[in-house]
Amino acid sequence: MKLLTLIFALAVLPPESAPTVNWSISAGGLSEGMYELVFEGELAPGWHTYGTGSKWSGPVLSLDRLVDCEPEGGLYDLTEPIMENGEPVFYGKFRLGQALRVTGGNPSAGGSIGWTSCEGKRCHFPETRDFDLTLGPAPEAAAEGAPASSSESVPLLSLVLEAILWGLAMLLTPCVFPMVPMTVSFFLKSGGSPSAGRFKAFMYGLCIVLLYTVPIGLIILITRLAGGDAVTADIFNWLATHWLPNILFFVIFMLFAASFFGAFEITLPSSLVNRSDSNSDRGGLAGVFFMALTLVLVSFSCTGPIVGSVLIRSTRGEFWAPVVTMLAFSVAFALPFTLFALFPQLLKKLRSGSWLGSVKIVLGFVELALGFKFLSVADQTYHWGILDREVYLAIWITVFSLLGLYLLGKIRFKGDALPDKPLSVFRLGLVIAVFSFVVYMIPGMWGAPLKALSGYLPPLSTQDFVLGAAPAPAADADALPGDNQAANTVSLPFGLVAYTTVEDGLRASAESGRPLFVDITGHGCVNCREMEQRVWSDPEVLSLLRDRYVIVALYTDDKTRLPESSYLTVE
């Protein structure tokens, strides 16, 4: 268990790929009544991208969220590209522009920019970056080179807020809350003036933040120095989709759940914890640091899985999102302990109660349910077929039903301190919420879309039985025109069928006269499942996809090895 805990500490790396271009997007006055969107990009070392004059791989700007303004012309190069083999190419930093004409009093611009980047003989495409800008009133004539007046809204805000909430919630976990009296006791024993006590309290909080944030920053820095963004992106992508890290995460979550249920106790090596605890008695700043280290180590068995989940989700954003999210989490986590250190006299009588044992059991059920997401990703990317949608739902329905029965007092665990007295109003509210969630999931066993859970569940196409769904051979035949005996196809939700290669899709498009709909997707892609269940399920959208388009589904995380004859090298 001690070795496993140390492995988990190294295993919570964020798993998503980093973009090859870091963008800074802003807007400034171009002329009277005109704005200019400025897209300033910085390529990862060794990578290049293409200018707007490229014949096949130039940047693509989508302005689908315009309010009180309209585009004037198309995207253009603000930086002069280098011509290589007749193609305009950018290295390092470059700038693109787009003119907008203001048509109303409260203009804003939103959309996405897409690009293709290459390094040597390999290319990443398409990559995209969303943006939203508030422009303000129509500008007067602006001097050339005037600074931008609007800047892009921060997409990490929701992740930071979530991390802050998790950091504050950690105080109520059974392995964190008992550290409160220990903190109060330590700072009550500290001598010195009030100003020295305040300084030590702030240093205590700073040490907690650094002990959580610096390791993540070092991991990212080392991988970047080893081979640039591409190395880090490959590591994150491997962590996101390969069976080994996903199975490791699954096993770790199961072991934590078993520990929370009382099967055994997961701790770091006692020598490490005892050494840091004994050093905390030295006083001074060294004692403050070792006190913070003791808190981080002792609380790890509760904060570890939560920190891992926050980091995994945070890497949907920018490359530096894991560090920012970890910083937000650690600041929120350290804040209560900093306050306890500042005002120990007010909290010296605070003690943990038996109710924390119940919190531990509830966390065990949550860990048990969430752990199956990692097994599902490995199952989907490698096509094992062991965790189809109805199997996944059956497990979740069982887990949360048992949680409801536990809260009702119908089942007990070793060392459980849940009171036998009548239900409190708070516990009744939890019971109602849990069983309502169970009732919501049950129709999913017969194919209900369950849109609120679409990001967590396996795709609907893995479900063996969908109530009321009849075979639709005519629709499938229409969607796959021409000679399809050798075509590579895949089943999608709602009876849709797609080609898995662009070549097959283009051939079918030419034969049928239908336009091509290219779905860039992934087996472990949460947002892809959200799109399918929330957008594709709309009858109008589904009718268009089935009857008007030829669909190509390109799975970026599929582990099926193609023959070398299918490889494409881009010079």
Query: What CA–CA distance (Å, rounded) separates 303 from 295?
Result: 11
Cβ neighbours of residue 354 under 8 Å, at least 6 residues apart?
417
Express as a percent the part of the chain with pLDDT over 70. 67
Taking alpha carbons only, the member of 528, 13, 527 closest to residue 246 is: 13
Q: How confident is the model at residue 104 (pLDDT cuts 50, 70, 90)?
A: confident
Q: How confident is the model at residue 18 (pLDDT cuts 50, 70, 90)?
A: low
Q: For residue range 270-315, what is the model confidence (pLDDT) as tens digits?
A: 555 555 555 554 556 777 888 788 777 766 655 655 555 555 544 4
Place of tokens 């662009």: 502
Query: What CA–CA distance (Å, rounded) separates 273 from 360?
Result: 21
**Helices marked H in 300-354:** 300-314, 321-342, 344-347
Question: Which pLDDT score, from 0 to 100, does residue 329 have?
Answer: 83
Question: Which pLDDT score, from 0 to 100, does residue 211 have?
Answer: 85
Taking alpha carbons only, the member of 188, 193, 143 closest to residue 30 is: 143
Q: How confident is the model at residue 149 (pLDDT cuts 50, 70, 90)?
A: very low
Find out whether 461 and 492 touch, Cβ atoms under 8 Å: yes
pTM: 0.49
Place of tokens 């309209």: 70
Locate 310 and state its tokens.
């926050």
pLDDT of 122 higher than 80: no
pLDDT of 338 higher than 50: yes
pLDDT of 12 higher than 50: no
Mean pLDDT over 374-397 rounds to 87
Q: How confident is the model at residue 191 (pLDDT cuts 50, 70, 90)?
A: low
Question: Which pLDDT score, from 0 to 100, does residue 399 have?
Answer: 94
Pick the most confident of 101-105, 177-181, 354-358: 101-105
Higher pLDDT, 336 or 189: 336
Residue by residue, what is the 3-state secondary structure of 476-541?
Answer: HHHHCCCCCCCCCEEECHHHCEEECCHHHHHHHHHHHCCCEEEEEECCCCHHHHHHHHHHHCCHHH
Query: What CA–CA distance (Å, rounded) separates 277 from 301?
Result: 17
Question: Which pLDDT score, from 0 to 100, does residue 315 have?
Answer: 45
Q: How confident is the model at residue 402 (pLDDT cuts 50, 70, 90)?
A: very high
Q: For residue range 492-535, what is the model confidence (pLDDT) as tens digits?
A: 877 788 888 888 888 888 888 788 888 888 776 766 777 887 78
Taking alpha carbons only, the member of 324, 337, 338 closest to residue 163 is: 324
Query: What CA–CA distance (Å, rounded) separates 169 from 357?
Result: 16
Taking alpha carbons only, the member of 368, 402, 344 closest to residue 182 is: 344
Q: Is 407 helix (H, G, I), strand (E, B) or coil?
A: helix
